[in-house]
Amino acid sequence: MKVSKVKVSVGNNEKQMMTMFRNSNKGALVYWDDKSRDDQTERIIPGQKMENFALSILNQTLVKKGVFLSMLRMGTSGKVASKHANGTEMRVTHKEKEKAGKAYESIRALLAFVLSSDFGSREFKKNVPKEIERSLLDCMITKKFREEIYLMDEKTGEKRRLTDLILEALSSGDVLILTPYVKWRDDFVALKSSFLRRSIHNNRITVANGGSKRMSVLEAWSEALISPEKDQTEKNKVQGFSKINAISEVPTRYNIDLLIKNLNKVEMGEFKDNGTLKRGHEFHKRLKVCLQTHQKTIFGTRDNPNLTNRGDNELYCYNLEVVKYLNHFFPINVPSAKRLTKDRILYYLNEKTMKRTIEAQLHNALRANLIRNGKLRWHDLLGRDDITNKDLITLKMDEGFLLSIIDACAFAGNNVRNIIDRYQTGDIIYKDILKKSIEKGVSDGPLFGLFFNIEDSQPILTKDLWALRGAVQKIRNDIFHYMFNLPNNDGGMHDDRSATKVKTILNVTEFEYDGDNKTDKSSR
């Protein structure tokens, strides 16, 4: 159910657009036009979203009409033994199929009325059949409501099936018999709403200290990786990932070797002639059970929890990556999941494969967190507790602009190469490569003239070639490299974040000429 950027009824046939508002304290649903951004979550859910809840329950109750009609096979009327996806199938004539389609629409209209706010206050006036075959109704009702859910009749204290209530209501003409269905709706909506409101309120912006267990672990690892106590050579920066506790110690604490050993003991089952597993989903479920058994040995059970391990956030984070690994390669209830051969199964359950992939997942998560923190630091958002949606929107807008400039830089750099030395395979923005290309004396005068409206006979000055390189180099470096802690006029240090990147990259007035700019000590 969509809860953001949709209109809700606010009375007197008036509707307002609602949207999600987030800050560092909590998330909230607010009205689009409300500049004060007052939290309307409690008011909107469930009160102003009851129509959506009713439609959701209706779709959970009845199968789609196309699915229902597909169960009615053309032929001799009467129930047959074979089963369809919904657990039942009927053979009907063409005329009976048309009649069944109309009956489906009537039942859907009846249940929609029962779930609406009109139930109990208005009379249901649409025509519905007074009788309907149970087998036909079974084809309409989902397995969930046909076999799993009982509805409590408060008058008699009995547990009733929805199918029985519908048949009784049709025969008696009294829709109030379906009141237990309405009571179930109320309980369902109350429970769902509490979860939904909690989820919305927890959807806060976590750039300051705090957040989930996983985020706290990633922050701790990031701090360990960039700590000034480490030898910050380029080699050690790369090797730093392998020095973090989660990669070197947590797998041992998680006893990953035992888990992998037990996973390989799980029975695969039979294989098809093409080499794929016959009942892949059942095998995947057995793997999940094996994982759950292992988790109990690590974290304990609800009755007998291992409080030490449950309080270990690194262990918790590593467990999430293991779950993610098995869900990816051995998914459950995913119809489009690729059927695996025995060789692929053994490969994915191989000790080296599992450990290497899970370690790579942790690396990727850590890199993503470092990049995220870099963006937040550049926009002076890291650690702040007053961030709102507007700040994140501004960040995304800046990123979008910079991405377009990156494409322009690539195009410009290619043109600089074509003008100076079209046969150069290296990055001509590098000073050493540029000098060698200029020394060749193979600059393309006509192409240079096309860009700057200069006659072909006019010679290209070396300074002009350095200017070409300098313009692209300045823009490219300002986009890719964040400059902090630069000396200010008072001899102190300051961040360059106060000057916007847009102003910086669009005002290139100085450039290095043949290495004469002594302030530029870079190799680019």
pLDDT in tens, 356-394: 999 999 989 988 888 888 878 877 887 777 888 888 888
20 with 133, same domain? yes
Residues 6+ apart with CB under 8 A from 517: 510, 511
If asked whether residues 482 and 355 sit together in one domain, one would say: no
- Domain membership of residue 206 (yes or no) is no
Q: What strands, in cross-sheet order, belong to the sheet with 6-11? A: 6-11, 14-22, 27-31
Mean of pLDDT values over 20-27: 84
pLDDT band for 492, please (50, 70, 90 cuts).
very low
Q: Which DSSP state fits 489?
A: T
The pLDDT of 312-336, averaged and rounded, is: 89
Q: Does the pLDDT of residue 196 top 50, yes or no? A: yes
Residue 402: which pLDDT band, with cuts at 50, 70 and 90? confident
Residues 340 and 488 occupy one common structural domain: no
Is 504 a residue whose pLDDT tops 90?
no
In this prediction, residues 432-456 reach a mean pLDDT of 83
- Least confident segment among 383-387, 421-425, 519-523: 519-523
Contacts of 277 (CB under 8 A, 6+ apart): 268, 269, 270, 271, 283, 339, 340, 341, 342, 345
Q: What is the mean pLDDT of residues 135-158?
A: 85
**In the predicted structure, residue 78 carries a pLDDT above the cut 60:** no
With respect to residue 352, please indicate whether it lies within any of the assigned structural domains.
Answer: yes
Task: Give the tens place of pLDDT for each residue, 238-266.
Answer: 455 555 555 678 899 999 999 999 999 99
511 assigned to some structural domain: no
The answer on 79 and 184 residing in a single domain is yes
The amino acid sitting at 472 is V
Q: Could you tell me the two tokens for 142?
A: 């989902």
- Residue 281 identity (one-letter amino acid): H
Residue 520 belongs to some domain of the structure: no
pLDDT recorded at residue 162: 92
- Pair (162, 225) in one structural domain: no
Task: Note the pLDDT tens digit of each residue in 262-280.
Answer: 999 999 888 888 888 887 8
Same domain, 177 and 41: yes
Say what the pLDDT of residue 350 is: 95
CA dihedral 11, 13, 16, 17 (to 10 degrees): 130
pLDDT at 279: 78
Q: Convert the pLDDT of each residue in 83-132 to its tens digit.
A: 444 445 566 778 888 888 899 999 999 999 999 888 877 777 777 777 88
pLDDT, average across residues 333-346:
80
Claim to verify: residue 278 and residue 307 sit in the same structural domain:
yes
182 and 119 in contact (C-beta within 8 Å)?
Answer: yes
Looking at 34-43, 77-86, 137-146, 281-290, which range is the least confident one? 77-86
Instruction: Specify whether 181 is located in the same domain as 38.
Output: yes
**pLDDT category, 502, cuts 50, 70, 90?**
very low
Q: What is the DSSP string of 169-216?
A: HHHHT-GGGGHHHHHHHHHHHHHHHHHHHHHHHH-----SS---HHHH
Q: Is the peptide bond before 46 cis (omega within 30 degrees of 0)?
A: yes
What is the C-alpha separation between 395 and 234, in angstroms, rounded? 29
Local structure of 236: helix, strand or coil: helix
Structural domain contains residue 329: yes
Same domain, 361 and 393: no
**With left for phi above 0 and alpha for psi between -120 and 50, is residue 12 left, alpha or beta?**
left
Between these two residues, 182 and 34, which has the higher pLDDT value? Answer: 182
CA neighbor of 111 nearest in space, from 44, 179, 52:
179
Provide the mean pLDDT of the chain.
79
- Alpha-carbon span 138 to 107, nearest angstrom: 12
230, part of any domain: yes
Give 85-92 contacts, CB < 8 A, sequence gap 24+. 86/139, 86/142, 86/143, 87/138, 87/143, 87/146, 87/147, 88/135, 88/138, 88/139, 89/139, 90/135, 90/136, 90/139
Task: Note whether 26 and 65 are same-domain residues.
Answer: yes
Evaluate whether 30 touches 19 at the Cβ level (below 8 Å): yes
The whole domain housing 149 covers 6-200
Per-residue pLDDT band at 59 (split at 50, 70, 90): very high
Distances in Å between the Cα of 136 and the Cα atoms of 64, 85, 90, 175 are 14, 15, 8, 20
Closest CA to 107 of 99, 453, 155: 99
Task: Collapse the DSSP code of 141 into the 3-class scheme (helix H, G, I; strand E, B; otherwise coil) and give the result.
Answer: strand
pLDDT reported for residue 490: 44
Number of domains in the chain: 3
Q: Considering the domain boundaries, does residue 32 fall inside one?
A: yes
Q: What percent of the chain has pLDDT over 70?
A: 80
CB 51 within 8 A of CB 79: no
Nearest to 477 by CA among 518, 511, 437, 515: 511
Q: Which tens digits make up the pLDDT trace of 297-310?
A: 999 998 999 999 99
Q: Is residue 323 part of a domain?
A: yes
